Amino acid sequence: MPWTKAEHSPNTFTRPLGPNEVFIKLVSDPGHPLGREHWAINYTATISPRGACTALSGSPDLLPALIRYSWVHLRFQHPSLAAHPDSNSNLVYTVPDSADALSKWASQTFTVETDARSADEVIPIIAPAADARLYYVPQSSELLLHTAHWRMDGVGGLLLLGQLVDLMVPHADTLLAGKLSDPFDSFRWGSEVARLAPPVEEAGNMPLTATDEQKAVAHGAVGTFALAAGALGVPYTGDASSLPLGTRAAELKFSSATTSAVVSAAKARGVGMTAAVHASLAAANFQHAITEHRGRHYTSTIKQSLRPYLPEPYSTPAAAAGLYTSGWLARVDCPATWDENARMYQAEYEKGISSEYLQAHREYASALVDVMKNLPTPTEPPSDIDISSMGIMEKYLEREYGTSERGFGITHAGVGVEIISHQGVVFVWTFRDQLTLRLVYNEAFHTPEQMTEFLHDIQADLLKQLRVTE
């Protein structure tokens, strides 16, 4: 599925969507008639100018101009940010053929949200878009990168935000000197086509036809999705016919001291931070379960990044703008203890991605596409709270770019997805030595008070089980 030049236009390149991308797109697209896109990803970074770069704050236009220029540069490095689907299940990328065309793209995809107090006020009103979008919120100094999930995974967007801020450092000097040239003239447009992201099936050299052994591996993973049947959910507002509204988030941040104590205590119990939080998340789901669901099991996702298992450059930040992720479902039952659940989750995460699983992944994704196309309407909407762990965020996003004399610090960072269902997702990460839990949900089905209480109950259970006091 390589990118090929379109017959009708020398500046247009296309390729078919891969099975993994098609699966995510099938999940996301039903929200479009409602002006929403399920699972679209939002990445945020709060920036703080250092040294000479603080001069950018002297004018309301300088920093946005720097961000916009760096955003266009980022597109040159990662052209898949501007690739979008056509009506025939293909991706299309067009090389800009003029300064006006490139400027129009920048104006369509970069927005300064002067009236918003934070990115959390922008996220609920973002509509589906063909290309990736970047927002700057001056009041909170936040960068917000938004993209459809079929384009990118959670790791990729963090890598891109880091690269964006890294690009801002050298461009700041040029801007302050009044020498910033037109970006159409600054880069060799047309050469970027070589960096268009392939689907994971091509990046991982996955066979077109699976062997019997690969089919067994693939369908074994797909079979775990049946564990969602009969699982518990938490209470929600409205009913199955209620329409979704905007995506909101509740966030809870542990202190550095508590984070250190929790990490050490979990390690002493033989589990990682993700497995420990996952076990307490399961406990919170059982605690908050709909009354009629008491006694049911809890099913959640084990998410795995395929990036470390792919050959270069797809295992490197050069391939940030791609969808290289996988996962399966796991079940725990109410009578199980926290220790039992934590050890089970740890074993699931430690499985990682075997070479056999990687080679079976085209079959796995193709089978999921078939499942999605034939999925029956559930008798009741799923309303569990799931998990997605980013681990140590500094693996993808630095705390500082440039130097203290000339650079930018990242004081806060985050990830979340758009939610149009009755479910929620707790994103888990550490950044600047602080464990953060961010629960994203749809405001039509849950209240801020309910979701904040849910997070506090996860925290309370985690501290209790690990015998950590704040």
Asked if pLDDT for residue 346 goes beyond 80, the answer is: yes
4-198 with 201-466: one CATH topology?
Answer: yes
**CA-to-CA dists, residue 55 to 48, 168, 327, angstroms:** 12, 13, 46
CATH code of the domain made up of 4-198: 3.30.559.10
Pull the structure tokens for residue 261.
């104590």
- Give which of 24, 35, 21, 36 is closest to 419, Cα–Cα: 36
Q: What is the pLDDT of residue 44?
A: 98
Instruction: Determine if the peptide bond prior to 317 is cis (ω within 30°).
Output: no
Q: What is the pLDDT of residues 403-433, one digit of tens each?
A: 999 999 999 999 999 999 999 999 999 999 9
Q: What is the pLDDT of residues 246-272, one digit of tens each?
A: 999 999 999 999 999 999 999 999 999
- Give which of 287, 250, 231, 256 is closest to 460, Cα–Cα: 287
Q: What is the pLDDT of residue 1?
A: 63
12-16, 54-58, 68-72: least confident range: 54-58
Q: How does the average pLDDT of the chain come out, rounded?
A: 96
pLDDT over 70 for what percent of the chain? 100
Pull the structure tokens for residue 260.
């250190």
Asked if pLDDT for residue 88 goes beyond 80, the answer is: no
pLDDT band at 176 (very low <50, low <70, confident <90, very high): confident
pLDDT over 90 for what percent of the chain? 91
Are 119 and 44 in contact by the 8 Å Cβ rule? The answer is yes
15-29, 114-128, 171-185, 216-230: least confident range: 171-185
The residue type found at 9 is S
**CA-to-CA dists, residue 97 to 9, 73, 184, 189, 236, angstroms:** 11, 16, 9, 8, 50
Q: What is the pLDDT of residues 140-150, one digit of tens each?
A: 999 999 999 99
Q: What are phi and psi of 110, to 5 degrees?
A: -120, 130
Domain 201-466 classification at class level: alpha beta
CA–CA distance, 458 with 250 (Å, rounded to integer): 13
Domain range summary for the chain, segments of one domain joined by + = 4-198, 201-466
Q: Is the pTM of this model over 0.85?
A: yes
CA–CA distance, 325 with 152 (Å, rounded to integer): 9
Asked if pLDDT for residue 8 goes beyond 90, the answer is: no
pLDDT, mean of residues 206-220: 96
Q: Pairing relation of β-strands 424-431 and 385-392?
A: parallel
Q: What is the pLDDT of residues 302-344, one digit of tens each?
A: 999 999 999 999 999 999 999 999 999 999 998 899 999 999 9
Asked if pLDDT for residue 96 goes beyond 70, the answer is: yes
Q: What is the pLDDT of residues 426-465, one digit of tens each?
A: 999 999 999 999 999 999 999 999 999 999 999 999 999 9
